[in-house]
Amino acid sequence: MELSDHTKNILGLKLPTDPRWVDLAGISLEAILTDHAYCEQKAALTCISLIQRFSDKDELVKQLAPIVTEEWGHFRLVLQELTRRNLKLGTQRKDVYVNRLMEFQQKGGHEEGWFLDRLLMMALIEARSCERFKRLSEGLEDAYLRNFYRRFMESEAGHYTLFIELSEHYIDKETVRKRWQEWLAYEAGIMQEIEIRGDRIH
Ligand SMILES: [Fe+2]
Ligand SMILES: [Fe+2]
């Protein structure tokens, strides 16, 4: 399958490799699918909370409403896959990565900065999901699952660009780009921390 332009954009990001997903053979399928299921759930929830928080922003509401449905559909697909394989949806793990990202968000007083950070953090999480799914689509033994993850990869790449475009709809491009570079640099630091601490998925 040809990679979409969106996906090529993601690859052009040159994100440092996520150490949590390097050793695929060492992670159980149940853990991969459980972790994935909660990521989809959180994506849907975050879109709902953005709509609630920024209900006055018509374009945001219009763009994110269908994403909620899509992410919830992803959650259901993963759940279906667990059931099909007689695997269980495990418990939600503490997400060090997302918690560390949240610390970087501008707080209080600066409404525009806070808004931009919420969107860019989501863009980063989507880009990272896309990278993870690419790795799974290339590295898993099971051909069916490789295809399963290829489809997710395309979809999350589309979400990544949507969050960037939404940012640029409300805030000038130069500000968005500058802050995006700061996010990328900060995220690279988190990746190093995770690697050193060994916060892997098991
Ligand atoms: Fe998704
Ligand atoms: Fe997504």
**What is the average pLDDT across 26-30?**
87
pLDDT in tens, 65-103: 999 999 999 999 999 999 999 999 999 988 888 999 999
Taking the centre of ligand 2 as the mean of its atom positions, its distance from the CA of residue 47, in whole angstroms, is 10
Residue 4 has pLDDT above 60, yes or no: no
**Average pLDDT along the chain:** 88
User: What pLDDT, on a 0 to 100 scale, did the predictor assign at position 14?
Assistant: 60
Taking the centre of ligand 1 as the mean of its atom positions, its distance from the CA of residue 109, in whole angstroms, is 32
DSSP character string of 34-90: HHHHHHHHHHHHHHHHHHHHTTT-HHHHHHHHHHHHHHHHHHHHHHHHHHHTT----
User: Whole-structure pTM over 0.85, yes or no?
Assistant: yes
What's the pLDDT band for 131 if we cut at 50, 70, 90? confident
**What is the average pLDDT across 113-142?**
91
User: What pLDDT, on a 0 to 100 scale, did the predictor assign at position 196?
Assistant: 78
Annotated domain spans of the chain: 28-197
Taking the centre of ligand 2 as the mean of its atom positions, its distance from the CA of residue 163, in whole angstroms, is 10
Q: H or E segment at 180?
A: helix 173-197
Taking the centre of ligand 1 as the mean of its atom positions, its distance from the CA of residue 39, in whole angstroms, is 8
Taking the centre of ligand 2 as the mean of its atom positions, its distance from the CA of residue 42, in whole angstroms, is 9
User: What pLDDT, on a 0 to 100 scale, did the predictor assign at position 50?
Assistant: 96
Domain spanning 28-197: CATH superfamily: Ferritin, core subunit, four-helix bundle (1.20.1260.10)
